Structure 1
Amino acid sequence: MKKLFSELKRRAVFKSLLVYLGVCWLVLQIIAVLTPTLNLNPLLGSALFVLLICCLPLVIYFAWYFDISLAGVKRTPDLNEQASAGKTSWQLGHFAGLTLVMLVSVYLGVEYFTAIKQQQLAKQQAVAQARLARTAISTIAVLPFSDNSPAQDQGYLALGLAEEMTSLLGSAGNFKVSASRSSQFLSEQGLTAQQIGQRLQVDTVLSGSVQAIGKRLNVRVTLLNVNSGSTLWSNSYARDLTEVSDIEQDIGRSVVNLLQDKYLEAGSFNTLASTRSADAYVMYLKGREQYRKQTTEAMQQARQLFEQAVALDPEYARGYVGLADTLLLLAEGDTVVQGFGVINKDIAVSLAQQNIDKALTRQPELAEAYAVRGLIGFMQNKFELAIADYEQAIQLNPSLAIAYMWKFLALNSLQRFDESLLALAQAQQLDPLFHSISQNLGITLSKFGRFDEAIAIFKQMQLDFPQSPFSHQGLADIYFGQGNLVGAIAEAQRAIKLSPDNHTLGHKLIGPLVQLGLTDIVKQKASDPAWTSTTDFYQETLLIFEQDFTKLFSRMDFKLAASPDDYWLQFEAGWYQAMFGNKPQALKLLTDNLALIEAEDMFGMPHCSPAIEVAWAERELGNKASAQSLIKQCNSLLEQQLQSSIAYFELHYLAARIYALNGQPTEAVQALAKAIEIGWREWWTKYDPLLQSLVGEPEFQQLIQFMDKDLARQKAEALKLFSE
């Protein structure tokens, strides 16, 4: 070893290495400075480093055989040889050794550089993913704050502050905030914050506590990571009640800075429509407390509280929005999601418009104000304007669940069914525990033939709301739409047991009973005064099953004499005559006094009734042009709905009637077969005068026999439900 070191020193290998390493260090330092300055590829430095390392064995090899200095390059003689000017510097073996060293160096360099490149790419991807995670949509739920007051009488403040924070975070960029209604419901079920977050499918949960002592407000908040259950951030605030908006801003700014990797300075995250009046704020929160109860009495109280709030602070925009919203829900009629019917509709709309104008004048970027203005447009049947307002509200606050819900209603009114389903699904994602949203989504999915998804929603509603009849009502509708009348009857019975005074549920039971011809059971129900108003609706059908046509037509004549200007009554009488009575009388009743019906009511889908029945009557009277015009319009509406993925069996039955009227028996039978396949079970199909041209078709008779047989089977099964 001593001899080797001595030879390395004699051949100046150490000196060459020191010089080479010095040059390498200098070059790498220069590259390190130039790479960020000139925005060079980061791999350039790595590649140069690998190259210099790979050249190190070559430098050692050359240094062993040559003395490299400023005087030039000289062959270093071996110890046992004499220097000779005429001697060849290198032998063949020397070149072979150099080649081997070069090959090994190149191989090791390529392998090492590949590994470094892969590590560098992995690091870049990790950085990109981290940035994406910080800038992606953050999902959060704000739980109702707990009331820490000694008397536990500040619940309105605890819930109200959570609602305000939900609205504030919902307007922040890249945030998806679950509706406070769902958070409140789950909190009332006794779930932990982490369990609530998991149910709402959010990443984080903001919870807190409040206590007001005089005009002093104490708030403590905690931000929880749902996946790990760990606390991400917490803080306490103690300020005057008049500074509550400042507290909300500070909380919102801290949450955004933490979850979105931002830095928002104090005062840069503003809450909208705040008030510096503590009394106005308290009145507003108490109004919201009454509003959440959703009863007529509570809504009237909410109206008074909102009026007091804006009286105390005439610049309080959110107070005007709450007042306008309450006025609309107090309107008479069924044109809103849930009306409480104590104010004339036109007056309610006018007052609401005045208040919402005041709100938008004071705060033109308040999402809730546009949502309520959209509801005003909806109640005025200005559906396009309503949708524009809802979209504006959603743009300002993408987490405003009620705006999606109301948008669904407007789109549905325009028969833009695919868009309406999308809006409703978005509402349900944000507010999965809102009863009306879930119910409407289940109903809408069933219209699209997505029965499994609809059933799953109603089953979940049964778990969440075990005392509510509406999940059973939804399942009854689905089973009826599938032709499962026994299932519809069973679910209707369960719904009625939970809400015996709901007459709408009575129809869910009596309808399929009549469909199956179980007239004795219906008559038994009719003897109960509580069922009289429901069973009276089916008296004509009962007379048909009893084949008492004389009494049927006498009853209809009496009704017509009592209400000569009611076209729908006239239509009903004409339809009975068309199926079981006098055809000329039927044609007269169907076509006379059409001016009594509004144009938009002429083509009621999915049956396109009474237009399609009138078309048949006009054709029978020889008015072919008039009949064809009606048929053409019905066919256009039919195609429009079929293209929108609507899966009503009535649409295929309508197609069968149109084909039959147009003299296309093969297509008519095919359409009827499709209707029966997906659930059509109307007992009167065999008597339909619009299909009489198909009576001679064997395929038509086979379909009627199949339906009669299935109705008989279900009738026997339904009887068992009432014998148990």
Structure 2
Amino acid sequence: MIKRFLSELKRRKVIKPLVAYFGISWLLLQVVGLIVSFMNLHPLVGPASLLVVVCGFPVAAYLSWHFDFTMDGIERTHSIDEELNPKIEPFGPANWFGLSALVIISAFVGYQYLGSINEQQLASKEGLTTVKKADSIAVLPFTDQSPDKDQAYLAVGLSEEITSLLGSADGFKVSASRSSQILSERGLTPVDIGKRLGVETVLTGSVRATGSRLRIRVELLETESGRAIWSNSFLRELKDVFELESEISRAVVNLLQDRYIKVGELTSLSSTNSVDAYVMYLKGREAYRKQTTEAMKEARQLFEQALALDPEYATAYVGLADTIAMLSEGSTTFGVLKPEIAATLAEQNLEKALVREPEIAQIYAVMGWVRFLRNQYEESIEAFDKALEINPSLSIAYMWKTNSLSMLQRYDEAIEAQTKARELDPLFVSHSYNLGILLLWQGRDAEAIDIFNTLKQDHPESTFPYQGLADVYFSQGKFAASIRELKKAISLSPENPDLKLRLNSSLLNLGLIDILKQQTSDPWYDSTILMLEGKLEELFKKMAFEQAASPDDYWTAFEAGWYHAMFGQQDKAVALISANYELLEDADKYYMPQCSPAIEAAWAAQVQGNADRFNKIIKMCTQLLKNELPSEISFYLDARLQALQGNKAQAIKSLEQAVDQGWREWWTKHDPLLDNIKSEDAYKKIVAFIDADLASQAGEARLLFIE
């Protein structure tokens, strides 16, 4: 086959034309080289000429195969059959198709290579060739070099904007600005910050504004060795700051990634034509970062001023929407506006931002948060996913998405999202606290404790690590340990009512009434105190008065009925618990994980002989229990369900599991729903264990209040 092919090449006289092609091409390239250097032509002229020669070779070879090039002209080459038959076949459609395809392919390949060469020359010219392959970075807050140190808003704002730009680059993990700022304020070196954040590189910088001019210096460091990869200085007008942010971001990506981003790509979407509007926006961001009600009100005013200066400023609309949403009433917000009003105002500003610049990731993150406030959990997740599609390093979107996933009981996904948020912003208190609570809900107590202990090391001044540990210990029935952590938290925040409520709950469970009375005079605890003190006659008089004062309040009647069920008259208990029960909404009847007051109403229905109501409630509570995560409360609910149905062995087993998980409620021995198993020796042992453990913990906790 090869011998025949070589023979055919010789017969068709292909070699001589190709040798001539190479000779002429070499001469042309020499001439082009001289002309380019002499006349200072475009640097692509030389490479383009070489590509024409190389890509033209297959075309020359194809033509040499089909034609003879002689001094007398060009003739169609005979095929073997044509030499025996004088008639020569013309250069037909198939030949023309082959030639055309070859020309197109050669031209396409040449064009692609020319584009690549062009990018390499541009990168080389700008000094942006890849010097290190890295896929993670932290941008530290720039240093304020102004004489009066009054430009921190500008220094931090620049680093935030560059962080956002880098976050939108594919294949880059960008640590959140908040964690970088926290570590910087603690005086850590850039290299130590990079190691703590788990990134391969760190970008540092300084900024000084003089009038309308900015002087900025940046330096890119390798975390492992501490060596400087790249540094540069810039002197620009303040109005050109957005182009400068894009230029710095492009340079970083080109230095660290095996690709080249051209001018015009990775551009800032936060631009404005008004320098004054930009300054107002940065000051608004500075106020927003303080995360207090007063600061949020100030941020809102500053964003509104920015928009007054430039009504087309899309990012300012996003900042205003975010701030208004955070000013709504709620446990995780700052409680100034009614949620519906806050959501409506935020949506109006987001719509204005979308019209002006629809590719800002923060728009969709805030949109998701607003939808969460409206209880539109599925829709909020769609918005968060859109935000993360644009900027995969937007940690706040992961955290807010976690809230929606938790409300939908998609706990595994919620933990995954919150873990990602913490990975991107590990020093943000809420990220660690929320992750710890999610792990606690999943029964992963050891992991939750590790999270809270790490949080304690990072933020010893915060109440959240102690509060988180207290919640873990409370769920485990370790009330003394919970009290120890809560006392530390209260010492840091003496006026925090939520912490005091947690402390009082633990004191009640341990029966430390004297200490509880020293802590609070809140009448909300009076009924439980009377029960623990055995003052039952006084308790029932109190409840009778409250019923007379609120005759139409089911919950007052239910509370009185429950106390009678444990310590009073069964007939009164049944009547009070059953009265007006059917008027409740199902969501109020079957409140999980206790399935209360439905489960107590099932007991009352059983005593009354109301089989239909009893069976309906038991069936519903059993079904709802299947969706609950294993916990001390869910096991105790199952024990009650099994006992009511006469399944003594299963009731005992579930009660034992509840105790193993941390169930230590003092009233367990008085629970009428467990009457079917109270004669069992196993039940008596369980109750004795609970009483002994609570007594031991009470002694331990009492020592914590001795000055």
Q: Normalised by the size of structure 2, how large is the TM-score?
A: 0.79
1:117-158 alpha-carbon deviations (Å, 9 max, x no partner): xxxxxxxxxxxxxxxx99987111111111111111110001
Which of 611, 624, 645 is the equivalent residue of 1:662? Answer: 645
Secondary structure at 2:521 match in 1: helix
Give the drift of 1:637.
2.2
Which of 576, 596, 605 is the equivalent residue of 1:589? Answer: 576
Question: Which residue pairs with 1:231 in the alignment?
Answer: 228
| Greater shift in the superposed pair: 462-471 or 684-693 | 462-471
Question: Which residue pairs with 1:293 in the alignment?
Answer: 290
Give the drift of 1:565.
4.0
d(CA) in 1 for partners of 2:601, 2:143: 63
Which of 251, 271, 274 is the equivalent residue of 1:277? Answer: 274
Which of 635, 645, 658 is the equivalent residue of 1:652? Answer: 635
- 1:349 matched to 2:343? The reply is yes
Which of 532, 548, 560 is the equivalent residue of 2:521? Answer: 532
AA of the residue aligned to 2:397: A
Question: Which residue pairs with 1:700 in the alignment?
Answer: 683
AA of the residue aligned to 1:618: A
Give the drift of 1:345.
2.1
d(CA) in 2 for partners of 1:253, 1:685: 65
Which of 428, 449, 454 is the equivalent residue of 1:455? Answer: 449
Which of 624, 627, 630 is the equivalent residue of 1:640? Answer: 627
- 1:259 matched to 2:253? The reply is no
AA of the residue aligned to 1:483: G
Judging changes above 3 Å, is the alpha-carbon distance between structure 1 residues 624 and 306 closer, same or farther for their aligned structure 2 residues? same
Secondary structure at 2:150 match in 1: coil
AA of the residue aligned to 1:449: G
**Paired residues for 1:20-99 under 5 Å:** none
Asked if 1 retains the 8 angstrom alpha-carbon contact of 2:639 and 2:651, the reply is: yes
d(CA) in 2 for partners of 1:263, 1:476: 51
Q: CA RMSD in A?
A: 1.9
Asked if 1 retains the 8 angstrom alpha-carbon contact of 2:603 and 2:644, the reply is: yes
AA of the residue aligned to 1:667: Q
Give the drift of 1:503.
1.8
Asked if 1 retains the 8 angstrom alpha-carbon contact of 2:490 and 2:499, the reply is: yes
Judging changes above 3 Å, is the alpha-carbon distance between structure 1 residues 394 and 499 closer, same or farther for their aligned structure 2 residues? same
Asked if 2 retains the 8 angstrom alpha-carbon contact of 1:566 and 1:596, the reply is: no
Give the drift of 1:200.
0.6
AA of the residue aligned to 1:693: N
**Paired residues for 1:171-320 under 5 Å:** 171-320=168-317
d(CA) in 1 for partners of 2:599, 2:133: 53
Which of 677, 688, 704 is the equivalent residue of 2:660? Answer: 677
1:42-66 alpha-carbon deviations (Å, 9 max, x no partner): xxxxxxxxxxxxxxxxxxxxxxxxx
1:408-433 alpha-carbon deviations (Å, 9 max, x no partner): 11111122222111111111111111
- 1:397 matched to 2:394? The reply is no
d(CA) in 2 for partners of 1:551, 1:508: 26
Give the drift of 1:355.
0.3
d(CA) in 2 for partners of 1:361, 1:568: 49
| Greater shift in the superposed pair: 266-275 or 196-205 | 266-275
d(CA) in 1 for partners of 2:605, 2:389: 50
d(CA) in 1 for partners of 2:633, 2:131: 50
AA of the residue aligned to 1:411: L
Give the drift of 1:487.
0.8
Q: Which has the larger radius of gyration?
A: 1
Secondary structure at 1:706 match in 2: helix
- 1:624 matched to 2:627? The reply is no
Asked if 2 retains the 8 angstrom alpha-carbon contact of 1:442 and 1:454, the reply is: yes
AA of the residue aligned to 1:322: G
Secondary structure at 1:560 match in 2: helix
Question: Which residue pairs with 2:426 in the alignment?
Answer: 432
Judging changes above 3 Å, is the alpha-carbon distance between structure 1 residues 405 and 692 closer, same or farther for their aligned structure 2 residues? same
- 1:573 matched to 2:567? The reply is no
Question: Which residue pairs with 1:563 in the alignment?
Answer: 550
1:367-404 alpha-carbon deviations (Å, 9 max, x no partner): 11101111111111111111111111111111111111
Secondary structure at 2:628 match in 1: helix
Question: Which residue pairs with 1:709 in the alignment?
Answer: 692
Judging changes above 3 Å, is the alpha-carbon distance between structure 1 residues 276 and 477 closer, same or farther for their aligned structure 2 residues? same
| Greater shift in the superposed pair: 223-232 or 508-517 | 508-517
Question: Which residue pairs with 2:597 in the alignment?
Answer: 610
Secondary structure at 1:587 match in 2: helix
Question: Which residue pairs with 1:373 in the alignment?
Answer: 367
AA of the residue aligned to 2:535: D
Asked if 2 retains the 8 angstrom alpha-carbon contact of 1:134 and 1:261, the reply is: no
Secondary structure at 2:385 match in 1: helix
Structure 1: tracts of 5 or more residues without a match: 1-36, 38-132, 526-530
d(CA) in 2 for partners of 1:625, 1:596: 17
Secondary structure at 1:364 match in 2: coil
Judging changes above 3 Å, is the alpha-carbon distance between structure 1 residues 608 and 267 closer, same or farther for their aligned structure 2 residues? same
Asked if 1 retains the 8 angstrom alpha-carbon contact of 2:134 and 2:201, the reply is: no
Which of 531, 543, 547 is the equivalent residue of 2:534? Answer: 547
Identity of aligned residues (%): 53
Secondary structure at 1:641 match in 2: coil
d(CA) in 1 for partners of 2:588, 2:134: 45
Give the drift of 1:460.
2.1
Structure 2: tracts of 5 or more residues without a match: 1-53, 55-129
